[in-house]
Amino acid sequence: MMNSIFNIDISKIPEQLTYNASQPMIFNSGVFLWLFLVFVFVYMLLGKKTTLRLLFVTAFSYYFYYKSSGIYFFLLAVVTISDFLIAKAIYKVQQKHDEMGNFRNNKGKLLLTLSLLIDLGLLGYFKYTNFFGTLFANITGNNFEMLDIFLPVGISFFTFQSLSYIIDVYRGTLKPLNNILDYAFYVSFFPQLVAGPIVRARDFIPQIRKPLEITKEMFGTGVFFIVGGLFKKAVISDYISINFVERVFEQPSLYSGFENLMGAYGYTLQIYCDFSGYSDMAIGIALLLGFKFPINFNAPYKSSSITEFWHRWHISLSSWLKDYLYISLGGNRKGKIRQYINLMITMLLGGLWHGASFNFVIWGGFHGILLIIDKIWKQICPKLSSVQSKHDSKKPSKFISFIGGIVTFHIVCLAWIFFRCDSFDAAVSMIWQIFSHFQPQVAPQWISGYWAVASFIVLGYLLHFMPQRMSEFTKQMVIKIPLFLQTLLIVIVIYIVIQIKTSDVLPFIYFQF
């Protein structure tokens, strides 16, 4: 019934409008596309009635989250109300007279700690109870019975977003909101609610009560991002995942090293197209509603060093970890050794943020080691570094950047194996197959047997490595064409999605985080 995006059985509409754990609300589902058309119609009618419009969007956002996580939408309210009140209390404490400085700072820290306990407590319970329970049991030699705990979709995203608001208020870089509706709108805004990008309060809050204005450029850019994101997710990512990548990662020992390597290349593209596709659609939908989000991905596989990769990959998370964790730990202000320790702690916790598994910790730790090596390498051999220093205006040679790009890409591919595999042993098995049973002679058979998968992998990487000026030219073309052609472009991409899709709509990978 749901094999195509628009094929919705009318008799099942009540069922489709209620929560279904097997069919969460996602941007490339038929239910969302129909609901979004109704939503936009009402949204435009309320254009000049700011408070009613904000109330309507907030209510829709809560419904959107209900369709993703059921009754657990109440967690949004818990985080929203608690952090709204705590932020106001922190600000009042900070306004007290200077002679009460010590008292003020201590009380402010207590209030901040309370917010951290609530937000991280919810995140810890729902996401890490079984992980740490099992870990403790293994250390002590006891048994731990896994608890049946539901993981609400995107809980890591909206808790981090709310925490950034609280920390900014505590640091004195942001004044708290006086209207709880505005804060509820900020925390729950549905385009980025369940999988980011993590939007900072200082970037988003000033836009909330501005008069609604959607320029031709905003609309065209929104269409460009939505079409591109939908194509990356529903065409490239889903197709190569269903038809090849999942099979290899489920049983890597059944495939040759060459096929395992193609699986690693495929997953490297899949996770980028999946996650950046969601981010692009979120950015595009927000633009159609009159709001601007920062870019979350900037061609990360073009990076010529691991440091540059983290400047381009999941920018909202990497900058969040830098500003609120790495700097809070001391950053690079307390010597090189302490800087490396802070960097490792940040990446280990960043890995754990992605999921309650040692494989994610290993993935984060691996990137932490690589970042430390990268910093040491730049100090020892600055002329051979693929990324120039802040104090060096001389750009690295194209050859060094090219070699750095190849090395960085394959290191990232290697790390993704640990990220994707269900266990450490499975990851090691896959790597072992690649290096010990490569069997390049199977390449012709693989290309003939998986010609469609191979074509989409090549197409995906060609689009990714396309020069920035070509991407910008394409965006400007979409902006300039008439509304009719923009609409036709969306219809064509949806038609392609319908023709290529071979199974039910797949959730976005980052929904689990």
Active site residues: 354
Instruction: Tell me how far apart the alpha carbons of residues 280 and 31 are, in angstroms, rounded to a whole number.
Output: 20
What type of residue sits at position 70? Answer: G
Instruction: Tell me how far apart the alpha carbons of residues 85 and 77 are, in angstroms, rounded to a whole number.
Output: 12
Q: Please spell the DSSP secondary structure of 343-402, one letter per residue.
A: HHHHHHHHHHHH-SSHHHHHHHHHHHHHHHHHHHHHHH-GGG-SS--TT--SPPPHHHHH
Exposed, middle or buried, 148 (CB in 10 Å: 0-12/13-18/19+)?
exposed
Q: If DSSP states are collapsed to H, E and C, what string results for 444-483?
A: HHHHHHCHHHHHHHHHHHHHHCCCHHHHHHHHHHHHHCCH
Q: Which two tokens stand for residue 350?
A: 């960043």
DSSP annotation of 325? I
* CB-based contact 126:149 (threshold 8 Å): yes
Instruction: Tell me how far apart the alpha carbons of residues 351 and 359 are, in angstroms, rounded to a whole number.
Output: 8
Instruction: Tell me how far apart the alpha carbons of residues 332 and 450 are, in angstroms, rounded to a whole number.
Output: 48
- State the residue for tokens 């628009």: 6
- State the residue for tokens 């490297």: 268
Give the C-alpha distances (Å, rounded to integers) separating 427 from 21, 262, 362. 29, 15, 11
* CB-based contact 173:370 (threshold 8 Å): no
Nearest to 241 by CA among 218, 273, 212: 273
DSSP annotation of 146? P
Instruction: Tell me how far apart the alpha carbons of residues 120 and 79 are, in angstroms, rounded to a whole number.
Output: 10
In sequence order, which residues have a C-beta less than 8 Å from that of residue 375 and are 6 or more positions away?
A: 307, 339, 340, 343
Number of C-beta neighbours around residue 117 at 10 A: 12
Q: Which two tokens stand for residue 241?
A: 């995942």
Report angle CA 273, 278, 284 to the nearest 5 degrees: 120
